[in-house]
Amino acid sequence: MSKRPNLENLESLADILYPALTKHGMLWELKELQAILLWGKVVGTKIAKKTKPQRIENGVLFVKVKGAAWRQELVFHKQELIKKLNKELGEQVVKDLTLV
């Protein structure tokens, strides 16, 4: 029978990763990745089915959109979507959306 480890001395994964990511300048890249991963949650099922976030560069999130009509619709909601994403992220990671 195996012995259980002493959990009192274990650090949380966040306590270990946060300083390492910060030291190596990767914390911002992680936030950018989160923006892509949170897209569907933030925009909702209907929009998520017609769009796909592709990448983020210098605060610009590139989102592939199915059709010109959907692209035009999202242009009208662009600022609202940016605001919702940044609220979910806890800081201003996304500065603009490019709909392709």
- CA 47 to chain CA mean position, Å: 16
pLDDT score, position 29: 75
Domain boundaries, the chain: 28-99
Helix axes 27-43, 68-89, angle to 10 degrees: 120
CATH dotted code for 28-99: 3.30.300.180
**For every residue of 14-71, which 3-state class applies, written as one string?**
HHHHHHHHHHCCCHHHHHHHHHHHHHHHHHCHHHHHHEEEEEEECCEEEEEECCHHHH
Tokens of 25: 């300048």
The pTM of the whole model exceeds 0.75:
no
Helix (H) or strand (E) holding 81: helix 68-89
pLDDT 10s digit of each residue in the chain, 100 long?
566 666 566 666 666 666 666 666 666 677 888 899 999 999 999 999 999 999 999 999 999 999 999 999 999 999 999 999 999 999 999 999 999 9
Q: Residue 98: in which H helix or E strand, if any?
A: strand 96-99
